[in-house]
Structure 1
Amino acid sequence: MVAVKPNEADTLLGRIDPARPVVLLFGPDAGLVAERAAKAAAAALSGSTDPFALVRLDGDAISADPARLADEAYTIGMFGGRRVIRVRVGGRSITAAIEPLLASPPVDTLILLEAGDLKRGQGLRELVERSPRGLAVACYADAGRDLDRLIDEELRAADLAIDREARELLAAHLGGDRLASRGEVKKLALYAHGQGRITVEDVEAIVGDASATGFDEAIDTAFAGDAAAADEAAARLLSAGTSPQGLLAAAIRAAVQLHRWRIAVEGGASVRTVVENSRPPIHFRRKPLIERALDAWSADGLSAAVIDLGTAAADARKQAALADLICSRALLSIATSAARRRRRA
């Protein structure tokens, strides 16, 4: 098994080893999965003039007819040259279709499998990771240097610079989904076209909450004790296809951050000071909810919330069919607990 480091993934996918023609892209960041698959396909087909060199297949259809993938994989292109097959993995297993391709890999055909978050040591992920002819690349939400690189890439193309505070604020609203994040930066660049430099005011005026496609609303209202708003926001996200595991992971990160802030409050700092001095800056629309949450929760209570959310995340992974319900109940439990704490305060 070859472990792909996050900072090496994009370079590696730009020149995939022909000896590893089956590539699995998986993880909670669906936008990053799709973007990397598109770039890998483009690199593999660079210079090709065959309009049929790229084939898209549905994973559930392949599960029902495993031979269909093999038929496509071993087909020789009309004009010769390399071919790429992109498979969107659904809820059904396609290991029966992948096993023969790993045992006897096709020549000049790259197979890109695009999947959601997959558990280590099971199913498709284990099959590809253990094979010397497969390559598995995890796609997790952008953070830190990845976000800086994305911002720089888009703003450089638009011939724009950005103030340090504006960059921090922008980064705070990106990261949950690569395509959504890139779209937000492109939108900001279009808004600031011709002015040379982007300011905090520009970011506040134009950038919506692209972080995990709006996770903040569901999570902030939950920790602030607004059960109805949290439940409605979570339902809206989940009905739109948001990963419940991704939402729970974001809630855990939020609880950990709130815990850090609450420790500062219990050390003598005011809630307002902690919120105002946060780096990266908290968006002004979120500040009232964050302040309510810090007033309601103790550091010990937030530690317990992290544990409860971690248990819910584990349950959601084990019981995929009930993941949406588990996620909704976990956030509702947080909101109910916060409301109860506020009443006691």
Structure 2
Amino acid sequence: MSLIVNSNQFPLNIKKLESFNCYVFYGPNQGKSDELINQYIKMLSNSSSIPVDQINCNIENIKNSNLIEDYMYSDDIFGKKKVLIISLSNPDKLLKTLNIEKIINSKGCKIIIKTEELKKSSFTRKLFEKDSNLCIVASYEDSVQDSRKIISENLAQEHLHIDNSLINYLAINFKHNRNLLYQELEKIKLFLFSKGKINEKEFVSIVSESINFELEKLVYAIVSGKIKILDKLFNQVSKNGIPNLSIISAVSKHFHKILLTKSYFNEFNSYEKAIKSTYPPIFFKNEREYLEQVKNWPLKRIDQIVKKLLLAEIKIKSNPSQSDVLTNYILFSITRLANKIIKSI
């Protein structure tokens, strides 16, 4: 029986998980993985009077020396607990060379491997998900509620405040990676320390270079039929490390949001009220373009697109090697259709 731990459950069971010697933390939310690992190290430090000797390394360290062997099996004259944290883009190659049984039975050292997204077919996931002596933790995006809590608590520690609409926007757009969220919060806090308060325009000027705003630009370009800038925006988003499935999901969510706004319009007979009622909220700088999208896209076309996006997602998950081809095709076809719809109006 494997030990697969939900990242939200890890802090609640952290003491029970102390007995394991080998862990993998994986997933796109690297900031969440970092926090869980730090909590684990803190727990080890507090659980006894024996100090913890922590070493962080990457694949280059491992290539240049027998670091793991040297570190794990050498005696520590001070009797410290040893923790080796290894950051790898693909841990399969390393794990194939290690004596896993020896690590499991080691009494003096723990190994933590941190990596990004892992395919279910990867050697690492297969190994850790079938062995009950190994622990694997998946760190995916936070909920909007969790992100809001992180933002509010972080600002409250400095006795700072921003409007709920800005908190919502940060929570929605940076829930996929806490590291990015903290980076944006640091920029906002520096501004607040200097100016005392922040309005929406100042907020945009501070955070508009962040990668989720690039994703938002791409989504709006697709739904508005902006063929000429599609390649440039798509390449920028891909370069920033956003997976194809996340892009497709973002486009799908945007169309669902348009459907929601249309339903509110039928209820209120007012586009202004419909947009104000839509959740997640539309950021003020996008309201005009979003309104045009709501007016331009017919319900029948949206239903067709949502089904195609779902089918594309299924195909990519079943055939990851074709991810780029399938993503490019579906995004271009939607943009071309949007352009055709707009020209026909």
Could you tell me the TM-score, scaled by structure 2's length?
Answer: 0.81
Larger helix share, 1 or 2: 2
For residues 138-179 of structure 1, the C-alpha deviation after alignment (integer angstroms, 9 at most, x for no partner) is 211222221122112311221223443443344344323211
Deviation at 1:92, TM superposition (A): 6.5
Give the whole-Å Cα distance in 2 for the aligned partners of 1:91 and 1:293: 41
For residues 280-318 of structure 1, the C-alpha deviation after alignment (integer angstroms, 9 at most, x for no partner) is 432122223322322332333323323322333344344
Contact 2:257 2:279 (C-alpha < 8 Å) held by counterparts: no
Deviation at 1:335, TM superposition (A): 1.1
Give the whole-Å Cα distance in 2 for the aligned partners of 1:246 and 1:22: 30
* Paired position in structure 2 for 1:86: 85
Deviation at 1:119, TM superposition (A): 3.9
Q: 1:45 to 1:332 in 2, by over 3 A?
A: farther
Q: Which residue type is aligned with residue 118 of structure 1? A: L
Q: Which residue type is aligned with residue 87 of structure 2? A: R
Give the whole-Å Cα distance in 2 for the aligned partners of 1:71 and 1:318: 41
State the secondary structure of the residue aligned to 1:214.
Answer: helix
1:242 aligns with 2:259: no
Could you tell me the TM-score, scaled by structure 1's length?
Answer: 0.81
Deviation at 1:222, TM superposition (A): 0.7
* Paired position in structure 2 for 1:25: 25
State how many pairs are aligned: 341
Contact 2:82 2:109 (C-alpha < 8 Å) held by counterparts: yes
State the secondary structure of the residue aligned to 1:53.
Answer: strand
For residues 306-335 of structure 1, the C-alpha deviation after alignment (integer angstroms, 9 at most, x for no partner) is 332233334434444443443333322221
Q: Which residue type is aligned with residue 240 of structure 2? A: A
Q: Which residue type is aligned with residue 29 of structure 2? A: D
Q: 1:147 to 1:26 in 2, by over 3 A?
A: same
Give the whole-Å Cα distance in 1 for the aligned partners of 2:163 and 2:107: 50
* Paired position in structure 2 for 1:225: 225
Give the whole-Å Cα distance in 1 for the aligned partners of 2:28 and 2:299: 29
Q: Which residue type is aligned with residue 56 of structure 2? A: V
Contact 1:218 1:233 (C-alpha < 8 Å) held by counterparts: yes
* Paired position in structure 1 for 2:135: 135
Give the whole-Å Cα distance in 1 for the aligned partners of 2:338 and 2:68: 51
Matches of residues 1-345 of structure 1 in structure 2 within 5 Å?
A: 1-12=2-13, 15=15, 17-41=17-41, 43-44=43-44, 53-58=54-59, 69=68, 72-77=71-76, 79-91=78-90, 93-94=92-93, 95-97=95-97, 100-101=100-101, 104-120=104-120, 123-193=123-193, 203-204=203-204, 206-208=206-208, 210=210, 212=212, 214-265=214-265, 269-345=269-345
State the secondary structure of the residue aligned to 1:112.
Answer: strand
Q: 1:184 to 1:103 in 2, by over 3 A?
A: closer
Deviation at 1:200, TM superposition (A): 5.4
Give the whole-Å Cα distance in 2 for the aligned partners of 1:74 and 1:317: 41
Larger radius of gyration: 2
State the secondary structure of the residue aligned to 2:9.
Answer: helix
Q: 1:293 to 1:76 in 2, by over 3 A?
A: farther
Deviation at 1:130, TM superposition (A): 2.6
Give the whole-Å Cα distance in 2 for the aligned partners of 1:209 and 1:171: 16
| Farther-moved stretch of structure 1 (145-154 vs 317-326) | 317-326
CA RMSD of aligned residues (A): 3.6
Contact 2:25 2:115 (C-alpha < 8 Å) held by counterparts: yes
Q: Can you give the 5+ residue segments of structure 1 that lack an aligned partner in the other structure? A: none
Contact 1:177 1:210 (C-alpha < 8 Å) held by counterparts: no
Give the whole-Å Cα distance in 2 for the aligned partners of 1:74 and 1:316: 43
Contact 1:10 1:36 (C-alpha < 8 Å) held by counterparts: yes
